[in-house]
Amino acid sequence: MFADCSLASNHQSYSNDILKAHAFELSYRAHSSVFNDSFYLVPQNSTRAAEGTLLKVERQTNTSAYTLAPNLSLSRFIYQSMTSNGTRVPVSGYILWPYIAQQYGSPNTLPMVVWAHGTSGVSAECAPSNIQNLWHHFQAPYNLALAGFVVVATDYAGLGVSQDNFGRKIIHEYANGPAQANDLFYSVPAARQAFPQLSEDYVVIGSSQGGGATWAFAEKLMRQPMKGHLGTVSLSPFTHLLYLPLTEQIWPLLLLFLTPTLRERYVDFAPGQIFSPEGIQALKTLENLNGCNTIAYQLNRPEYLKKDWQNSTFFRDFAGSTFNGGKELSGPMLVIQGGADPIIYPPSVDAALNATIQNFPKSHIEYWVFPGVTHAPAMYAGQPIYIDWIKARFARVPAASGYRRETPAQVRPAAAIQSEVNWFVQMMTEPWQMT
């Protein structure tokens, strides 16, 4: 199953784990592969289409290939976006429809929430639109739709659509907030072209990588306004690579995901500048298997990095040009952070918020910190807060002015709380599994 037998021999100590992870990633795809699904092929002559143009729409996606919550429905679409260097790029995404919609204003208008997903990987195969549970299931998109909102969700450039109509490979610019902000920005008019009943008003929400993307989106709107923005929700947001301690255990995984971006952005960058020989083999394993998060976590080993990797001028230049914080924001923003998050270091969020408030003291920011809550679980803990916050924005309730930090009161003691997910949403294969 390894594309290169030498890779398997170089990973004898845990190759079974990698193979199991690979089998798991294959099992949760909605369709066999984005490379075999004609939906992800870009229409001819689409290169010159303006940003925000709808390129393709699948109005009624076969939901039997997905593990959606009952009574929801799905569409997929492709639209034109823009990379961080200004190049037009086709991007795929999905639209998740509620059974009944919240009503704000016209009864024929459906309220739109724009969703930005967390890290799923950097291969084209890691697109949420081709994952049975849309990657985040009940963590956010399902519950947003069940609450009566239409969820417009980008895959991000490089995930899903793998090449443009000239056959050029599209690189996913991982952890590049401005690039992902473009993908969010241009998904809005494209979704409205496909479905004119979508509201002009919208709220943007995302988690982790997506939390950083929504933050960057709010910054982008100050330079390039777009009518209808009611507010931004950033859950466990990525802010600045240099704010993460060098002792963080997640660095090997982050750098495996960052490498394609660094190679594309800097002609003189070489993976050997940050990876040990074993790390180079790990990178090849990830790329040859078109691996996503599950495989990458099996390759998250500190010995794969050179001791002085953080001195890479390319890494530091990238980090310095893609950070969030200290810039003016459009509209109100809600930030939700787990106080025990081992991936997004809580002080990194504090630092970005403090820089923003210092530079722009009139910013409207509501910041909730959940003690004892880790990374992805913050999406569950924060749901009562952010769903009510979104409803209030659509209802035109004014957001609180200034900066406000809140700590919720826990109903039960920390020892009684289920701290991490110990389940996953899986396709039913036998009738008796139905409940």
**Interval 176-230: pLDDT, tens:** 999 999 999 999 999 999 999 999 999 999 999 999 999 999 999 999 999 999 9
Contact 380, 139 (CB under 8 A): yes
Residue 247 has a pLDDT of 79
* 299/359 Cα distance (integer angstroms): 40
Q: In this predicted model, what pLDDT tens digit does every residue of 148-179 receive, in sequence order?
A: 999 999 999 999 999 998 999 999 999 999 99
Residue 9 has pLDDT above 70, yes or no: no
Give mean pLDDT, residues 97-115: 94
Spatial neighbors of 321 by CB under 8 A, at least 6 apart, are: none
Confidence of residue 6 (pLDDT cuts 50, 70, 90): very low
Per-residue pLDDT band at 3 (split at 50, 70, 90): very low
| pLDDT 10s digits, 354-403 | 999 999 999 999 999 999 999 999 999 999 999 999 999 999 999 988 99
333/81 Cα distance (integer angstroms): 24
**pLDDT interval class at 246 (50, 70, 90):** confident
**Cα–Cα dist 93/105, whole Å:** 27
The answer on pLDDT for 4 being more than 60 is no
Residue 7: pLDDT band with limits 50, 70, 90: very low
With beta carbons less than 8 A apart as the criterion, state whether 157 and 89 touch. yes
Mean pLDDT of the chain: 94
pLDDT digits (tens, 9 = 90+) for 12-25: 445 789 999 999 99
Separation CA 157–CA 349 (nearest Å)? 25
Assess whether pLDDT exceeds 90 at residue 432. Answer: no
Rounded to 5 degrees, φ, ψ at 131 are -110, 135
316-321: average pLDDT: 96
Q: What is the 3-state secondary structure (H, E, C) of the chain?
A: CCCCHHHHHHCCCCHHHHHHHHHHHHHCECCCCCCCCHHHCCCCCCCCCCCCCEEEEECCCCHHHCCCCCCCEEEEEEEEEECCCCCEEEEEEEEEECCCCCCCCCCCCEEEEEEECCCCECCHHHCHHHECCCCCHHHCHHHHHHCCCEEEEECCCCCCCCECCCCCECCCCCCCHHHHHHHHHHHHHHHHHHCCCEEEEEEEEEECHHHHHHHHHHHHHHHCCCCCEEEEEEECCCCCHHHCCCCCCCHHHHHHHHHHHHHHHCCCCCHHHCECHHHHHHHHHHHHCCCEHHHHHHCCCHHHECCCHHHCHHHHHHHHHCCCCCCCCCCCEEEEEECCCCCCCHHHHHHHHHHHHHHCCCCCEEEEEECCCCCCHHHHHCHHHHHHHHHHHHCCCCCCCCEEEECCCCCCCHHHCCCCCCCCCCCCCCHHHCC
